Structures are given as structure tokens and as C-alpha cells.
Amino acid sequence: MQGHDPAARPPFAVTVDLVVLTVRREEMCALVVRRGSPPFCGRQALPGGFVRVDEDLETAAKRELREETGLADFPGHLEQLASYGDRHRDPRMRVVSVAHLVLAPDLPDPRPGSDAAEACWAPVSTLLDDPQRLAFDHHRILVDGVERARAKLEYSPLATAFCPAEFTVHELRRVYEIVWGVALDPRNFHRKVTGTPGFLARTGRTTTRGGGRPAQLYRRGEVPLLNPPMLRPDRAGQPVPADPAAR
Amino acid sequence: MQGHDPAARPPFAVTVDLVVLTVRREEMCALVVRRGSPPFCGRQALPGGFVRVDEDLETAAKRELREETGLADFPGHLEQLASYGDRHRDPRMRVVSVAHLVLAPDLPDPRPGSDAAEACWAPVSTLLDDPQRLAFDHHRILVDGVERARAKLEYSPLATAFCPAEFTVHELRRVYEIVWGVALDPRNFHRKVTGTPGFLARTGRTTTRGGGRPAQLYRRGEVPLLNPPMLRPDRAGQPVPADPAAR
DNA sequence: CCAAAAGTGTTCTTACTACACCCATGG
DNA sequence: CCATGGGTGTAGTAAGAACACTTTTGG
């Protein structure tokens, strides 16, 4: 914070980029837009845009999210991820991007934003396969966002951000299985999440939407931390197990 | 990344701020400078400065660190912490600061940097006591940095970044105790760190610098993750236990 | 000898794993 | 009735907590 010589504070552009993750059709998906102008014209990219002089970083992230998804006040979770400011990450100029991570329930299909030629959900596995698929350094940002999301499921109630307001233990378990790419024992999982005080709140209602015996519907509880954490099994190369009840 | 209208990319200043932590004299300390110019003239602040147009963020952080500590290639750890960009965090202009976290062994007293009127180590407890003590939003940045450091000790070998190149199990345990503010059982701690393959590497040498029976000297091992993690006991209000062997 | 710190062994307890088993619904 | 998923019980195991005890130095 020293060095007040104006020459010592070169101008930067500051952007926010969004890693918006959801679970839909038994897959973890990310929101991507199709770029309509150079550089990387026609390539896919994470949604994002310039921060305005009169708005905070989180405000800018929420505004971009609203512009891309068309949702005024969306349910879900938003947090800062990290900043990316390599000298040549944008060939046009010096840009520092403050990436944010958003976890959302299965939203209605996004409405293309003003500048984005196209916005859609893309399976994360596809996006991660090819490091060149996304423009700029967005592949790295996506990798970091996905890893952050996976890690946070272990010790936080954030998996519920992928679920609708009311959900069954089965649906919550599917989130863990799909995001982590592992199979979890349904019975032990049930005991773990229902046995941790404050993690889930019963609504008293039940549903049979999964078939079989009616399941309790829960809402997210009030505890901010899951302790002891949910243990992530070794990812021993197994593909994501399919859910027979998958629609 | 949309919106290429030049009017849509207002100029920002980008800085790096540093949370440099060390353990010295049985206390966790942070590097602070005394500001020599307004705003907050005369107040303490975290070291930092403007990012130059031709350097990456991490390069800028390392440069600032070198300028403040006078060490060309310091031992320790540096990682990005988070970015702080509230509209009015700097009264002069719009600034986004990318904070970095540095964990260092007990270094020689810092050499005041070019722009800093004074640089010194201050106990973190003192700095955290008064939210107004540090300039700008540096109190918040420090809180976040300390919390990150505390969390990372649990599942990473980063506590060794606070130690000299060769250290005893006792010294490593004191790092955990001081950073966490808890007492740990020396015998269980010993079993844990020496029993986790790859966490520590024996040098074969011993030392009696703590008094008593000679202790093995270790170097940091090669594993990047401590699994299962070191469990942080409930901080039940006890003050940091003093080490009778404290110098 | 004693004090102090290093390091090992043993018991108790917690919490996860694996899996048998029963429950409640729809068709 | 049967299929399907919901939910409980229980035995085995991994690992932390607590603490008794032996080892090796300095004074």
C-alpha cells in the first residue's frame, strides 16, 4: 500500500468470472457461454464481465449471474474462489479476474445474456477433458472451482445448495456421489446426515417421488460445519455409478 | 469477459498485500509496517504495494516480500489468500488488493523497505484485539490469513514452514500449539507425525538444544497432504500453554 | 543421584465400514 | 404378491485420547 506515485499504479481492468455448478440429469454441469467476439470468438468460456467502478466484487458477481441466468434472486451459494492475473492471460490488455464459485440447484435453462451469443449447461467432465476447450485460462479456473466444490462437500452443508429447498436423503446422497464420482453406502450415509445434529431439518412432509417407501423431506439445517466431516472414499477409477431411479 | 466497449472497463489499481506469519518468542507474529503517508499516516498496515504492469501477481508478492524482509530467496511458503475490492476500501481511488499468505521460520529482524517508515514483527493477538489498529481493511485480511493458516495445519505439512530446515518433533509441536492456542499431548503428537509415512524425513542427526534426552532432527517429508489430518482440539478458552523450555 | 525431555506400550472410546434385516409404498 | 427404495441393528475395524512407563541426556 506504499508508493503513491501515480506512475506506480498502472491501470488494470478487473473482471469477475463465474464457475456456476449444478447437478442435472445425473451429471455435474457448469454454465458456459459462447463467445461472440474476438479473442477466442466462437469458443466457449465461463460467464463473466468487467467490474464497474461503483460496485463491490461480490455485487458484480451477482449482477453477472443475474444477467446470465435471468434469475433475480437465485437460491444457492456464492463465494469468492481466487484471482487470476497472469500478464498475458488476456491478449488485449492487462486484466485481473476475480473468479467466484456458485453452487445452484437445477435451474431452468439459462436465458442468454446481453453479450453472450449463447449460454448453456455443459457437463463438467466434457469441459475438463480438453484444456483448450475454454477460452483464456478458464480451464484452470474451472479445475480450481470444481476442486473447491468437491472439498467443501466434505466439511460443510454445501451439498444442499445443489438441491431444491426440500429434498430427500437419497437426493442429497446423489449429489455427493455425482460430484465426487464415487458410490456411497445409502444406509451409512443416511445415518451420518440424519445423525449429525443441526445438519438437516425435518419438514415433517414425505414424498414418494423416488418410488418405494415414502421418504422424509428435509431442509438444510443451521450448522455451518459438518463435524466430523463426510469422508470421501478413494476414487479408485470407478465410473460414476448410475442411479436406477434416474429420470 | 464480454463487453469490449472501452467505457465498460474502468481503470483499477491492483495491489498485493501480504500476511506474513512467523512463530517467534513463543508467539505467532505478523509482519507489519508503519505507514509514512496519508491516508492512515502513522498507523500500522500489512506490507504490500502496487502490481506492476509487467509482472504476475505472485511475482509482485515475492518482490514486495523481498523488499520488506531483505531476503533474496526466503525459506517458507507463499500462496494466494483472497482478493479485497470493496468500493471504498481505499479513500483515494478504486483499488483491488490480491492478498497473499506467507508462512516463514523465525527470520532475522526485517530491514525496513524503501517506502515503509518501519517494519517489524507484531504479535497476532495484539493486532487482532483492535479492529482499528491496522489501516484500510487489513484487519479483515489478517483475520482471514490467520484462519487459513490455522486450517491448513490440520491437513498439510505447512507447519514445517514455520520451522528451520531441521527441527525436532518438540519444536514442530510447539508450532501447532502456538498457532492453534491449544495444548497437545506430546506422546500422541509424536506418534502421529512420525507414524505418517512421508510426513517427516529423518536426518539421522540429533540435538540436545531443548535439554533432556537427545531428540531426532527431522526435515520436512515429501507428502503434500496429511491424511488422516491432525485433529484440532476444541479451543475451550484455555490460554496458550507456556513451554517451560521457552527461551 | 535427580530433573527434564524423548520416545514406546496399552487401554478405552469414537466413529466409520460392511452388510443383514425389516418397513412402507405403488403396481 | 413383488419390486423398490427407506430406514435400523450390529459386528468388525481404524485411529484418536489418555496416561503409565522406559530411555537418555545434563547437572
Kindly write down the DSSP assignment for every residue of chain B, as one continuous string: -B---GGGS--BEEEEEEEEEEEETTEEEEEEEE--SSSSTTSEE--EEEPPTTS-HHHHHHHHHHHHH--SS-SSEEEEEEEE--TTSSSSS-EEEEEEEEE--SPSPPPP-SS-SEEEEEEHHHHHH-TTSBSTTHHHHHHHHHHHHHHHHHHSSGGGGGS-SSB-HHHHHHHHHHHHT----HHHHHHHHHHSTTTEEEEEEEE-TTSSS-EEEEEE-S-SS-SSPPPPPP--SPPPPPPTT--
Q: How far is the CA of A232 from the C1' of D12 (A)?
A: 21
Per-residue pLDDT band for B143 (boundaries 50, 70, 90) equals very high
The set of residues, in sequence order, having a beta carbon less than 8 Å from that of A5 and lying 6+ positions away, is none
pLDDT band at B4 (very low <50, low <70, confident <90, very high): very low
Residues B70-114 pLDDT 10s: 777 778 999 999 999 999 999 999 999 999 999 999 987 766 555
pLDDT of residue A6: 47
* Contact across the interface for B12 and A12, Cβ inside 8 Å: yes
Per-residue pLDDT at B247 exceeds 80: no
Task: Say what the pLDDT of residue A235 is.
Answer: 61
Question: How is residue A81 written as a grid cell?
Answer: 474462489
Question: Is residue A161 within 8 Å of residue A143, measured between CB atoms?
Answer: no
Of the residues A55, A79, A118, A222, which is catalytic?
A: A118
A73-113 pLDDT, tens per residue?
Answer: 778 999 999 999 999 999 999 999 999 999 999 987 766 55
Contacts of residue B4, Cβ cutoff 8 Å, sequence gap at least 6 = A37, A92
* CA angle centred on B97, ends B39 and A102, rounded to 5°: 140
Supply the pLDDT for residue B6: 46
Catalytic residues of B, by residue number, are 118
> How many Å from the CA of B176 to C1' of C7?
19
Joined grid coordinates for residue B241: 500453554
Flag if A12 and B51 touch (Cβ within 8 Å).
Answer: yes
Extract the C-alpha cell encoding A52.
Answer: 464497474
**Residue A144 phi/psi, 5° resolution?**
-65, -40
**Confidence check: pLDDT of B26 > 50:** yes
Residues, CB < 7 Å to strand D: A 168-170, 186-188, 190-191, 194, 206, 210-216, 244-245; B 185, 187-188, 192, 208, 211-214, 228, 231, 233
Candidate from A45, A52, A115 with C-beta closest to B10: A52
> Coil, strand, or helix at residue A188?
helix
By the 8 A CB rule, do B21 and B14 touch?
no
* B236 CA → D22 C1’, Å: 33
Mean pLDDT of chain A: 89
Considering chain A, what percentage of its residues have pLDDT values greater than 70?
87
Q: Provide φ and ψ at B6, rounded to 5°.
A: -50, -35
Contact A192, A230 (CB under 8 A): yes
Quote the CA–CA distance of A48 and A62 in Å, as a whole number: 10
Chain B residue numbers touching A117 (CB-CB < 8 A): none
pLDDT (tens digit, 9 = 90+) per residue, B203-235? 999 999 988 999 999 999 999 999 999 999 976
Q: Parallel, antiparallel, or unpaired: how do β-strands A13-24 and A95-103 relate?
A: parallel
CA A161 to C1' C21, in angstroms, rounded, equals 34
Counting one residue from A and one from B, how many pairs have CB atoms under 8 Å apart? Answer: 131
Look-up of cell digits 469468492: A80
B57: nearest CB among A11, A33, A85: A85
Q: For chain A, which ranges sit under pLDDT 70?
A: 1-9, 72, 110-117, 235-247
Asked if A14's CB is within 8 angstroms of B96's CB, the reply is yes
Nearest to B80 among A83, A94, A97 (CB): A83
The mean pLDDT of chain B is 89
The Cα angle at residue A179 between residues A178 and A182, in degrees rounded to 5: 60
Q: From chain A, pick out residues whose CB is under 8 angstroms from the CB of B82.
A: 80, 82-83
User: Is position A118 annotated as part of the catalytic site?
Assistant: yes
